[in-house]
């Protein structure tokens, strides 16, 4: 009997020790000093503590306090009201211990995601980043760089930290993301938090919740065709689980995205895949997030037209609610390099989209003209484009990259003449034209723009 009592006391002591150890309040990496919280919203703070433990949150911008009780699994969460942009602020989180978060700003938070053209930074030798770095000291911009990781199941934690923008930090961060954030900071005058989550070479499938693909026969079949490589994952959901899902409770303003090169071979399902991915992210964040993305740039792929079909799929995806696409066909210095140097311009165009559509800031037209309609006029085809604020212009000569076809479906080089906001296309080889294609090739760099400087998007009138 004495031995039994001693065993009971021993195991009880172990239980008390275990409870004391687990009582420490912990936070996910995305909640930390130097972070940016989304302004004027109910921002979720969450973490872990002892089961049934009470956690109290207080902030320097308000006399209110918020309390949460940890579940029997040790997780707690509460929503705090954030003020208008400003700071720095302090947040105190108290339970069995106290955590003090310092130098917290309130402003606009954006996720920057995709594959290598979003990932590319000064580390990869981008000239624009090297030129920008010496003047990149800006305490109003904060970076959160999520390391590459995969998981078979959705995760709730990752390893990263918020840092203040400096020359040393900027040179490692997404160039597109940085220039996007810099433009927002300049135009809005508020702090900007940038969450960098990308992995070069990855197809969109890995960023899409697995169930979305598994439940759709078309997407499931296309995913099975993705060729595996040793340097990046290719199976559905793997990076979403490890690099997106852990931050979905964190309130953000929106997403910028640059990806598609690794889906050229499965362009036929990309529109569905991409829009379903967007819906999956919105469901996880419980918000209809603005989603602005860059069209893939001209590059000499093995197949002459598959990349054009992918760009077409991206164009069609831009009809999805609260999305927008920037055209990059003029931002290429070498069509044999899949990583164009001109990232500042991509970031600026994405920022113009966000400023206009999300923040209502008046400015120059942010949308590239796209095909609207066409009509046959004898041996010519008149193509109408929209939007064209004033007129169309061509740089360095007559408009290039136009082709026309008759009823035989054979496309030949065509002459194009600008007529205000439309283009008249013809060829002496086609007496009775029925269809027109513009810049419909993998490496096409056309010279047709609006007078305001935005390139005309590729199109085809045939299907």
| 213-259 per-position pLDDT tens digit | 999 999 999 999 999 999 999 999 999 999 999 999 999 999 999 99
Question: If you average pLDDT over every residue of the chain, what do you get?
Answer: 94
Q: Is the backbone of residue 295 left (phi > 0), alpha (psi -120 to 50) or beta?
A: beta
Q: For 284-306, what is the mean pLDDT?
A: 96
Express as a percent the part of the chain with pLDDT over 70.
95
Class of domain 106-357: alpha beta
- C-alpha dihedral over 174, 176, 178, 180, to 10 degrees? -150
Distance between CA atoms of residues 45 and 25, nearest Å: 12
Strand partners, 146: none
Q: For 79-106, what is the mean pLDDT?
A: 97
In the predicted structure, residue 22 carries a pLDDT above the cut 60: no
In the predicted structure, residue 9 carries a pLDDT above the cut 60: no
Cβ 122 vs Cβ 105: under 8 Å:
no
In the predicted structure, residue 13 carries a pLDDT above the cut 60: no
Distance between CA atoms of residues 31 and 251, nearest Å: 11
- Greatest Cα pair distance, the chain, in angstroms, is 107
pLDDT value of position 3: 45
Distance between CA atoms of residues 79 and 46, nearest Å: 9
In the predicted structure, residue 151 carries a pLDDT above the cut 80: yes
Distance in Å from the first CA to the final CA of the chain:
87
Would you say how long the chain is, in residues?
Answer: 463
**Tens digit of pLDDT for each residue in 121-150?**
999 989 999 999 999 999 999 999 999 999
Distance between CA atoms of residues 131 and 148, nearest Å: 27
**Tens digit of pLDDT for each residue in 410-461?**
999 999 999 999 999 999 999 999 999 999 999 999 999 999 999 999 999 9
Name which of 324, 289, 461, 441 is nearest 384 in CA terms.
461
pLDDT value of position 463: 86
Q: Is the backbone of residue 141 left (phi > 0), alpha (psi -120 to 50) or beta?
A: beta
In the predicted structure, residue 5 carries a pLDDT above the cut 60: no
**Tens digit of pLDDT for each residue in 329-388?**
999 999 999 999 999 999 999 999 999 999 999 999 999 999 999 999 999 999 999 999
pLDDT value of position 23: 65
Q: What is the pTM of this model?
A: 0.94
Q: How confident is the model at residue 406 (pLDDT cuts 50, 70, 90)?
A: very high
Return the ∠ at Cα 372 (arms to 366 and 374), rounded to 5°. Answer: 145
The alpha carbon dihedral of 257, 262, 268, 269 has a sign of: negative
How many Cα atoms are found within 13 Å in the side-chain-facing hemisphere of 450? 20
Q: In 10 A of CB 186, how many CB atoms? A: 12
Cβ 174 vs Cβ 196: under 8 Å:
yes
Q: In 10 A of CB 342, how many CB atoms? A: 18
The alpha carbon dihedral of 126, 129, 133, 138 has a sign of: negative
Domain ranges of the chain: 23-105, 106-357, 370-460
How many Cα atoms are found within 13 Å in the side-chain-facing hemisphere of 287? 15
How many Cα atoms are found within 13 Å in the side-chain-facing hemisphere of 349? 24
Tokens for 1? 């009997």
Fold of 23-105: Immunoglobulin-like (2.60.40)
**Tens digit of pLDDT for each residue in 256-271?**
999 999 999 999 999 9
In the predicted structure, residue 295 carries a pLDDT above the cut 60: yes
């Amino acid at each position: 009997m004495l031995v039994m009592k001693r065993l009971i006391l021993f195991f009880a002591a172990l239980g008390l020790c275990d409870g004391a150890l687990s009582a420490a309040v912990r936070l996910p990496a995305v909640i930390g000093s130097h972070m940016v919280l989304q302004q004027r919203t109910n921002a979720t703070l969450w973490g872990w503590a002892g089961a049934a433990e009470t956690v109290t949150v207080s902030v320097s911008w308000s006399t209110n306090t918020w309390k949460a009780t940890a579940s029997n699994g040790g997780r707690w969460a509460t929503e705090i009201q954030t003020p208008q942009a400003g700071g720095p602020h302090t947040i105190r989180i108290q339970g069995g211990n106290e955590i003090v978060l310092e130098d917290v700003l309130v402003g606009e938070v954006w996720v920057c995601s995709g594959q290598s053209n979003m990932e590319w930074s000064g580390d990869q030798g981008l000239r624009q980043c090297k030129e920008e770095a010496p003047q990149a000291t800006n305490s109003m911009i904060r970076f959160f760089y999520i390391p590459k990781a995969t998981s078979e199941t959705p995760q709730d934690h990752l390893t990263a930290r918020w840092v203040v923008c400096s020359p040393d930090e900027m040179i490692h961060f997404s160039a597109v993301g940085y220039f996007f954030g810099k433009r927002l900071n300049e135009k809005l005058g508020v702090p900007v938090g940038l969450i960098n989550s990308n992995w070069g070479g990855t197809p969109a499938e890995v960023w899409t919740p697995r169930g979305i693909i598994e439940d759709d026969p078309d997407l499931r079949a296309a995913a099975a065709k993705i060729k595996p490589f040793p340097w990046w994952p290719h199976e559905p959901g793997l990076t979403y689980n490890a690099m997106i899902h852990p931050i979905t409770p964190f309130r953000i303003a929106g997403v910028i995205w640059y990806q598609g090169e690794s889906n050229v071979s499965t362009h036929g399902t990309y529109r569905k895949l991409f829009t379903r991915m967007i819906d999956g992210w919105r469901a996880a964040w419980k918000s209809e997030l603005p989603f602005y993305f860059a069209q893939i740039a001209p590059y000499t792929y093995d197949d002459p037209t598959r990349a054009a079909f992918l760009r077409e799929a991206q164009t069609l995806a831009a009809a999805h609610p609260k999305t927008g696409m920037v055209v990059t066909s003029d931002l290429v210095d070498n069509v044999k390099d899949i990583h164009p140097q001109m990232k500042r311009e991509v970031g600026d165009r994405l920022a113009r989209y966000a400023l206009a559509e999300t923040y209502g800031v008046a400015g120059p037209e942010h949308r590239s003209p796209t095909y609207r309609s066409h009509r046959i006029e004898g041996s010519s085809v008149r193509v109408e484009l929209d939007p064209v604020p004033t007129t169309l212009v061509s740089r360095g000569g007559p408009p290039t990259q136009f082709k026309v076809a008759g009823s035989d479906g054979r496309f030949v080089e065509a002459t194009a003449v600008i007529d205000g906001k439309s283009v008249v296309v013809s060829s002496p080889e086609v007496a009775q034209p029925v269809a027109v294609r513009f810049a419909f090739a993998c490496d096409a760099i056309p010279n047709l723009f609006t007078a305001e400087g935005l390139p005309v998007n590729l199109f085809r009138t045939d299907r």
